[in-house]
Amino acid sequence: MTDVKTPVPEATDAPAAKPERPIAWPLGIAGVVLLVVGSFLSWSYDGQILNDLSINFYPGGLQILTLIGAVLSLVLLLAEKGPMTRLGAWLDATLGIRTLGAGLSLYMVLILVAIGTESDGLINVNPGGYISLVGALLIAVSGWLLPLRQLRDMSEARLPGGIEILTIAVLMAAVLFAAAYALGLQDAWSFILCLVFIAVIATALFRTGTMTFVSHVGQRHKKVLTLAAFVVAFLFPFTQNGSDANMSIANQVLIFGATAMGLNIVVGLAGLLDLGYIAFLGAGSYTAAVLSNSAFATVGWKPPFLVVMLVGAAVSATLGLIIGTPTLRVSGDYLAIVTLGFGEIFRFSMGNLDGNNGPNLTNGPNGIPGIPDLQIGGFNFGDEHSLAGIELGRFSNYYFLLLILIGFVILVFARLNNSRIGRGWVAIREDEKAAEAMGVNVFGLKILAFAVGAFLAGLAGTIKAHQDAAVSPDQYQFIESAFLLAAIVLGGMGTIAGVLLGATILKLLPEKLRFFSEYRLLMFGLLLVLMMRFRPEGLVASRRRQLEFHEEDEELAVEVEEQRLAVGEAQ
């Protein structure tokens, strides 16, 4: 890596915050060796537990993950003191070793607990499990004994263009592997342990500064990163071996993500709190249902699906205008209450349009079942198709269609965000009175935000109706609007990657953690509380949001850095 500005002294020349203990580095190497040796030995006496970890010299899935953690720990140790010290001048290897050591120790403890819980106790844990645990603990101790060092600014790190593009490709391949492996796990404990491991690795990469470098690489190669992300998404169905269950979850994630992107315009850009947004998704779904060939459809007009999509989106946008025009004169809590009421009015209205309490349009509480699969030209989305010798079922067909939809939604959001309209929305969100004083058409832009957001949700709803093969009022309850809003807050308001990540987490985890059916909402609430405490700007936040939430932290970091430099000069 080379510098583009004034060279900064090497990390090894910077004064250490505390004296280096000679035993720290060998202790870490010993931990890595024990972790590798233990992973090749049997962990469990019972082969039916955790997808069989009972065979010596034949690592199972969770043991392979441990080996990955060991390799990453070794790389950081060699960057701290060894042949890779040039890399250690940029990466915070010490923090990474500490994180990996603590995280892998927790991971191993949970594995031993899982083996003991699923069998007759810890007596069924074989020596390999304990050896790996000791190895993880030694890595953690080594990390705490190693000193912190002065590092270079990762924003100045550069690699040849081809290697940077290769870095993006490797990262996207790792994401595809992790998603395919995690979704393929049917055992509850195995899935939880896989999530813990992914969280440990991700945290370590962030703390070393690796993800900062990747972020700058992504900024320099935006088109390559976008293309790589869509290639990974396109290849995902080919990793599922025709699993309809996993593809159904993936489709729900895409629908949820596309809808959340529409709400992101209203909440993330314009700063308008909408608690009834699920109604716009429902309007698109009901429009597609009544215009379908279902035996329960009540409208005789059966246009092509592309027309149905436009009609459904237009109906949703119209509802956005209807609800927005009288209610956007209020703000804050009052706007939230009004939009919440609109969502409930929509749900009850769909239940009352049954021919008794109103016109027979939606078949009342029974909804409209029997919606046939889409057929565009000669392609029927309900049939299985083969591509490159791999069978793609019904849900895979809808997945590709939803992938096109979410690409369009992202394009619309990005263009609006970078336009004059987007800057006007941000100005309204920051200070409505100041924006109005500067000549921004506050009311018009608010109405536009509601209409565009509703339009995008309506598009997603038209596809959802055919994929689910039925619509009913109970699909569009308030809790769904709350989850959409939570996805934006969790991922990062006003961002694209953050909202998609938040939508994935909030849609994937409840599906895979059904054995926690009684505690899922409790876990969800705890997750939000922890997010608000430790990262209120979201998982993937814009620089503006980070400065808003952590201005005091930034000032404190500067003061601490100045104190460290002063202490170093004194020494």
Domains of the chain: 11-236 (no CATH), 252-520 (1.10.3470)
Q: Are 256 and 506 spatial neighbours (Cβ–Cβ below 8 Å)?
A: yes
Q: Which residue, 104, 140, 128, is CA-closest to 27?
A: 140
Question: pLDDT, tens digit, for every residue of 36-73?
Answer: 999 999 999 888 888 889 899 999 889 999 999 999 99
pLDDT at residue 59, as a whole number: 92
| Alpha carbon distance 147, 516 (integer Å) | 42
DSSP 471: B
Helix or strand holding residue 30 (H, E): helix 24-39
pLDDT at residue 177, as a whole number: 86
| β pairing state of 390-392 and 385-387 | antiparallel
| Alpha carbon distance 467, 374 (integer Å) | 8
| Alpha carbon distance 372, 389 (integer Å) | 27
| Alpha carbon distance 95, 108 (integer Å) | 20
| Alpha carbon distance 213, 190 (integer Å) | 31
Residues paired with residue 392 on neighbouring β-strands, in sequence order: 385
| Alpha carbon distance 192, 368 (integer Å) | 37
- Angstrom CA distances, 479 to 278, 342, 474, 494, 508, stand at 9, 14, 11, 22, 16
Choice among 271-285, 382-396, 538-552 with the minimum mean pLDDT: 538-552
pLDDT at residue 12, as a whole number: 43
Q: Half-sphere exposure (CA, 13 Å, Cβ side) for 110? A: 19
DSSP 267: I
Residue 145 sits at the vertex; the CA angle it makes with 144 and 150, to the nearest 5 degrees, is 85
pLDDT at residue 310, as a whole number: 94
pLDDT at residue 103, as a whole number: 95
Question: pLDDT, tens digit, for every residue of 387-433?
Answer: 777 788 889 999 999 999 999 999 999 999 889 998 999 888 888 88
Token code pair at residue 471: 């619509």
Interval 10-33 mean pLDDT: 71
pLDDT at residue 133, as a whole number: 95
| Alpha carbon distance 260, 453 (integer Å) | 9
Helix or strand holding residue 391 (H, E): strand 390-392
Q: What's this model's pTM, rounded to 2 decimal places? A: 0.82
At 331, the pLDDT band (50, 70, 90 cuts) reads confident
SS3 content of the chain, % helix, strand, coil (to 5): 70, 5, 25
CB atoms within 10 A of CB 176: 18
Interval 97-109 mean pLDDT: 95
pLDDT at residue 544, as a whole number: 62
SS3 390: strand
